[in-house]
Structure 1
Amino acid sequence: MLLQVRGWGARQWVTFGAIAFGALFTAIGLILAGVSISFLADAKRAPGTVVTLEWRSDHGGSSRKTRGSDGPVAYPVVEFTSADGAPRTFRSSMGSNPPSYERGERVEVLYRADSPEDARINGFVSLWLLPLIFGGIGLVILGVGTTIAVVGRRRRRA
């Protein structure tokens, strides 16, 4: 069965979808990178200490069934003192199993001076993981879609 809509075949629709999806994911990755860069530009730095690891098994509220390899994830809870002298505590939004940090470990904390509750551990994962995932997936799919479009166009010309 041949699918054709207004002169476009299935290959053109798949190519268009791949390019659009790849461009969207690349744009999301760039936006997330911009958010991290903006955060870093305004961030204050303070020494902090991992006071505990909060183990959670909800995986961000996912309702899917748990596979055998899935287990609880450790989120570091960090204490630091902000520039105004007030002690602050926050739970990192990035967790892992095995844990990336140990109880009592010293870390550098980045936070906004105007809202110290918006704090992150100064680490690659907390700042750059999501931009790299979205941007990387987007670039790969965008590349595949573009390659399919170029090859298809060359075949039609030949």
Structure 2
Amino acid sequence: MDLVAGLFAAGGAGFLALGLHLRRRTLRFLARAARAEAEVGDATARTSALSGGSDHSRLRFTTDDGRVHTLESRLGLPGGAYARGRRVAVLYDPDDPGEAVVDSPLELHAPWLIFALLGAGWFAVGLLLLIPWF
């Protein structure tokens, strides 16, 4: 039982650390990001062992210096997360416009939040299993 508890606690600590690292990266990105308006184009199909497949909306935006860039939404849904032709706000790194994301709480914060919550939960389970009376 101690081995299982240790694995939960160690795995949880690892996921929690990864989540906190991703959060720090997101906050640094937000501090330097510039905003642009993007137009949603076609969706790109991706396959995954976990979900089978999903469509990621492709967006096209112009930076402040006039360069045109494209990005794929992090959110994959059947048909794409955003309707074709819709205009949405994106945030991008002015020094590296290839690093861009749709300006939505879900797309900005879901990755780090998922890892942090999963890690905290696993860590808590590991600690509870180590308590002799539990």
Question: TM exceeds 0.5?
Answer: yes
Q: Whole-Å Cα distance in 2 between the matches of residues 34 and 148 of structure 1? A: 30
Q: Is the 8 A contact 2:43 2:79 kept in 1?
A: no
Structure 2 counterpart of 1:104: 85
SS in 2 for 1:22: helix
Structure 1 counterpart of 2:32: 42
Letter in 2 for 1:121: V
1:10-49 deviations in whole A, cap 9, x for unaligned?
Answer: x222222211111111101111111111111111001111
Percent identity over the alignment is 32
In the TM superposition, what are the counterparts of 1:70-85 in structure 2 within 5 Å?
Answer: 72-85=53-66
TM-score (norm. length: structure 2):
0.88
Structure 2 counterpart of 1:31: 21
Q: Is the 8 A contact 2:39 2:86 kept in 1?
A: yes
**Aligned residue-pair number:** 134
Structure 1 counterpart of 2:110: 129
> Which aligned runs of 4 or more in structure 1 are off by greater than 3 angstroms?
none
Residue 91 of structure 1: how far off its partner (Å): 2.2
Q: Whole-Å Cα distance in 1 between the matches of residues 34 and 3 of structure 2? A: 48
Q: Is the 8 A contact 1:71 1:97 kept in 2?
A: no
Q: Is the 8 A contact 1:53 1:102 kept in 2?
A: no
In the TM superposition, what are the counterparts of 1:1-158 in structure 2 within 5 Å?
Answer: 11-56=1-46, 58-59=47-48, 62=49, 72-97=53-78, 99-150=80-131, 152=132
Q: Whole-Å Cα distance in 2 between the matches of residues 32 and 86 of structure 1? A: 28
Normalized per residue, which structure has more strand?
2
1:54-88 deviations in whole A, cap 9, x for unaligned?
Answer: 223x22xx4x8xxxxx6541111111110101222
Name stretches of at least 5 consecutive residues in structure 1 with no aligned partner: 1-10, 65-69
Q: Whole-Å Cα distance in 2 between the matches of residues 72 and 42 of structure 1? A: 33
TM-score (norm. length: structure 1):
0.76
Name stretches of at least 5 consecutive residues in structure 2 with no aligned partner: none
Q: Cα 1:42–1:103, aligned 2, differ >3 Å: closer, same or farther?
A: same
Letter in 1 for 2:91: L
